[in-house]
Amino acid sequence: MNDFLTVSAYAGVTISIFFYLFGMFLKKKFKFGFLNPLLLAILFTIVLLLLSGVDYDTYNTGAKYLSWLLTPATVCLAIPLYEQIQLLKDNYKAVLVGIISGVFTSLFTIFVLALLFGLDHQEYVTLLPKSVTTAIGMGISEELGGYVTITVAAIVITGVLGNIFGEMILKIFHIKEPIAKGIALGSAAHAIGTAKAIELGEIEGAMSSLSIAVSGILTVVGASIFGMFL
Amino acid sequence: MKILRQFLIILLYSFIGEALNFFLPLPIPASIYGMALLFLSLMIGWIRVQDILEAGRFLIEVMPVMFVPAGVGLMTSWGILKPMLLPVSVIIVVSLITVMAVSGLSSQWIVQHTRKKEEDLSDE
């Protein structure tokens, strides 16, 4: 069985999409906020792999084609951004201030917590780029000499948590403006948070898409400065 | 053929992004280059939004599913993550909340402030 699954080009994709749609079904049926289709799909797939003894690389022979689509999908985030260009022009100050303060807060919080936990330099720079999109974050971690695998894990966990709890956090802090919602999600939880922002609305999605790019690029510069502090 | 043509344009921008990522010595991924270039092309009018709309909408709509393999990949990093679990978890949760609060509230304050100013102006 494992032999067949190792060569199967469709198993990984099929399982992933099936569990995602099953997650959507559960969310609609039970209407709990924490029933997040992405989280459910990840958990169900992990459980299935563990139960059947299939390892990740085997699963990924098929599932990698889903990841392959991420680059073209991210490129397409230019579309909502273009459609909201007027709004962007009218609110460029709010957008810039939101993203810049988000990048600074991320680096500063991680710096303070790293001091509190007594992390060494390598552990610190591993976590510095954890709020930005995976490809940029990996590059920064590598450049500064961090543990790239842990950086990737931290980035994915941040995104998934942002996707699940983002709406709740926005509510707690009374963030109601669509522009502000999008910037908060994109700055804190990159592309996975943006997937949630797109569900919330067109403005939220556009602002969140912009935040991924701008905060990612600012973090390249910011992280190399903050990397010198510890 | 329409969707195929749209998909070709999107792939072309992904490919140009890939090339820039390869040849420029910056840690900026192909997707961000592609997104910036596509946005510029739409602004300049090289590409009309209807030339990519259906395929683009579809890709954006199904985007969350594309993160499933990366999420499942966490099962392989469990061993490396375990010794740093406490600091990593606290840092992830605290920074997620603070970043969302600070960036959201600061931009919201400016949006509302600007709107109020405009309303005051139009009252006069």
| Residue carrying structure tokens 């991210």 | A74
d(CA B91, CA B85) in angstroms, rounded, equals 10
User: What residues of chain A, 169 to 198, have a C-beta less than 8 Å from chain B?
Assistant: 169-170, 173, 175-177, 179-181, 183-185, 187-189, 191-192, 194-195, 198
d(CA A112, CA B98) in angstroms, rounded, equals 12
Cα three-residue angle A103-A109-A112, rounded to 5 degrees: 140
With a threshold of 0.90, does the pTM exceed it? no
Chosen for mutation from B31, B57, B115 (greatest number of chain A CBs closer than 10 Å) is B31
Nearest to A215 by CA among A111, A120, A119, A103: A103
Write the secondary structure of B40-103 as one string of H (helix), E (strand) and C (coil): HHHHHCCCCHHHCHHHHHHHHHCHHHHHHHHHHCHHHHHHHHHHHHHHHHHHHHHHHHHHHHHH
Going from the C-alpha of A218 to that of each of A58, A192, B90, the distances in angstroms are 37, 19, 24
Q: Which of B30, B38, B86 sits opposite A78 (nearest CB)?
A: B38
Chain B environment of A75 (Cβ under 8 Å): 10, 13-14, 17, 31, 34-35, 38
ipTM of the complex: 0.88
Q: Cα torsion at B27, B84, A188, A229 (round to 10°)?
A: -60
| Closest CA–CA distance from residue A62 to any residue of chain B (Å) | 10
Chosen for mutation from A16, A19, A76, A158 (greatest number of chain B CBs closer than 10 Å) is A76
Q: Which of A50, A77, A154 sits opposite B92 (nearest CB)?
A: A154
Please indicate whether, in this complex, the C-beta atoms of B28 and A217 are within 8 angstroms of each other. yes
A104-154 pLDDT, tens digit each: 999 999 999 999 999 999 999 999 999 988 878 887 888 888 888 888 888
Question: pLDDT tens per residue, chain B (124 residues)?
Answer: 899 999 999 999 999 999 998 999 887 788 889 989 999 999 999 999 999 999 999 998 888 888 888 888 888 888 888 888 899 999 999 999 999 999 999 999 999 988 888 888 776 5
d(CA A206, CA A181) in angstroms, rounded, equals 11
Please indicate whether, in this complex, the C-beta atoms of A150 and B67 are within 8 angstroms of each other. no
A57's tokens: 């690389």
Say if residues A56 and A49 touch (Cβ distance below 8 Å): yes
Compute how many other C-beta atoms are within 10 angstroms of the C-beta atom of residue A182. Answer: 33
